[in-house]
Structure formats: structure tokens, C-alpha cells
Amino acid sequence: MSSGGRLRLVAVVAVLGAAAALIVSRIDVEEALREVTLPLRHDDIIRQQAREKDLDPALVAAVINEESSFRDNPTSHAGARGLMQVTPATAIAIAEQTGGTEFVVEDLADPQINIAYGTRHLHDLLDQYDGNVIAALAAYNAGSGNVDKWGGALLTLAEIRFDETRAYVVEVLEKQEQYRDSYAEDLGL
């Protein structure tokens, strides 16, 4: 092979190598960006608990994203704990209803327990508000007492009186769609 032929071969290999590196790095960049903007962890627990409670796993992931950004053990100023930001009072009530006789509030640090209790609470709110997702999410954020005053099972987005709660509901519903689109396989959709 002539020196000109070798040069062309080296150039072709270099271009192909650069193209391959670009493709691989783009995938890594896209994956890293998705991890930052739309994280997903504990998808096995989310799938399991959503199935047990007849919930959309994308909705559960969206609530976790909004409540804790998938950080395992945050505690809010109101004392809510863990991935789904379950309050101790709610957790104790759920433990009593479900026979969790050995439950202690510190158990909310366990992702399995936190997601189990958070999905139970979300399921109960959906039942309470006749499947109205807007009302259930508003109650998850602002409490049932407020939702009852605002319209209960007939609540619409426009009737939510707290700007923060309205923004919360909108964000969860938008994230639910994003989780459906981005993580359908991971969430078993």
C-alpha cells in the first residue's frame, strides 16, 4: 500500500473513530441529562407497590420526583419523611389500618416502607375523591381538609386556592407524562 493509501486509511479510521466516540458520548450525555432532569430509582419497588395499589407507576414516580427528587431520606419542615414525604401521623394511621404493629417512624427511611405507605396514602386519597387525580394530588400536598373546602371530588385545577398546591399538581401531572414517555419499560408500562 502506498503512503497516500495508508494516509487515507488512517484518515478514514480516525473519522470513524471520532464518529463512534461522538455517538457513545451523546448517549452518555443524554443519559446523564435524563438522570438529572428526570431521575428514577427504586423502579422495582414502584412497580410492585403501584401494582398492589392499582396505581399508575408513572404517577408514583412523578410524586416521588416532586416530593424528594428521589433523595432517599429527606425530612421536610413539616416532618414528612423519605422519598414520598409521608408524615409520621399518616404513617402511624396506615400502620394501624394495615396491622403494622412493629412500625416506628424511623422506618420511613426505608424506601420499601416509604413507597408502600406513600402509595397507600395516594390510593386512599384517590378513593376518597372518586378517582379525581387533581383532588387526590392536591390533598397529598395540602391536606384533605383544604381539598374538601375547595370542592372535594369535583375539584378542578382552577379551584385550587393555594398557588403552591396548584403548581405542585401541574408539575406532578407533567412529570407523570414524562415518566410514561421516558421510562415506560422500567416502570412496566
Burial of residue 45 (number of CB atoms within 10 Å: 0-12, 13-18, 19+): buried
Residue 13 CB neighbour total at 10 angstroms:
10
Residue among 67, 96, 159, 185 flagged as catalytic: 67
Active site residue 31: no
Give the pLDDT confidence of 160-181 residue by residue, as tens digits. 999 999 999 999 999 999 999 9
Q: 174 pairs with which residues across the strands?
A: none
Kindly report the pTM of this predicted structure. Answer: 0.81
* Range 99-106, long-range pairs (CB < 8 A, 24+ positions): 105/81
Quick check: 19 pLDDT over 90? no
Kindly report the CATH class assigned to 42-182.
Answer: mainly alpha
Give the pLDDT confidence of 105-137 residue by residue, as tens digits. 898 999 999 999 999 999 999 999 999 999 999
